[in-house]
């Protein structure tokens, strides 16, 4: 199995519940894509109305879930617009190379905003916020 050494001190600041797997597995790889992962966790928290991993007993269990078992919080159907859930899933991809950059996220969010505004003006805004563009 995979083992993460907790006795070695790393200088990766942050709250465990928002941290990307590489913060634990490969701290030398910490960069912008870790922030992208954390942003997705914050978005999830905003929609869920609770902190990520609230059901886990302690920070070590969170590290085990994220860095060893490759788990992410559940996104139940209808919890958020589909475009948002797809973007969140991309942002917390295990392979940080596959996560979008902050600039890409900004563009995708602008497109989603434009879709919502257009649907609102046309009277076609659905309760789930489903837009016409895909993320």
Residue 83 lies in a domain: yes
pTM of the model: 0.80
Residue 132 lies in a domain: no
Q: Which domain holds residue 50?
A: 16-122
Residue 129 lies in a domain: no
Q: What percent of the chain has pLDDT over 70?
A: 81
Residue 72 lies in a domain: yes
Looking up residue 90, the CATH number of its domain turns out to be 1.10.510.10
> How many domains does the structure of the chain reveal?
1
Residue 135 lies in a domain: no
Q: Residue 134 is encoded by which pair of tokens? A: 């895909």
Per-residue pLDDT reduced to its tens digit, 67-85: 999 999 999 889 998 999 9
| Rounded Cα–Cα distance for residues 68 and 62 (Å) | 10
Residue 38 lies in a domain: yes
Q: How many other CB atoms are there within 10 angstroms of residue 123's CB atom?
A: 6
Residue 2 lies in a domain: no
């Amino acid at each position: 199995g995979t083992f993460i050494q907790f006795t070695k001190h790393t200088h990766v600041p942050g709250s465990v519940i928002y941290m990307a797997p590489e913060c634990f597995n490969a701290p030398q790889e910490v960069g912008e894509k870790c922030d992208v992962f954390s942003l997705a966790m914050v978005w999830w928290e905003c929609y869920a109305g609770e902190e990520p991993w609230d059901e886990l007993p302690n920070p070590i269990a969170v590290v085990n879930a994220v860095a060893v078992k490759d788990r992410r919080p559940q996104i139940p159907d209808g919890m958020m617009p589909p475009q948002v859930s797809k973007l969140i899933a991309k942002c917390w991809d295990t392979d940080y190379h596959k996560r979008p950059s902050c600039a890409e996220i900004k563009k995708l969010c602008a497109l989603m905003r434009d879709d919502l505004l257009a649907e609102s003006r046309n009277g076609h805004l659905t309760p789930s916020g489903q837009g016409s563009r895909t993320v």
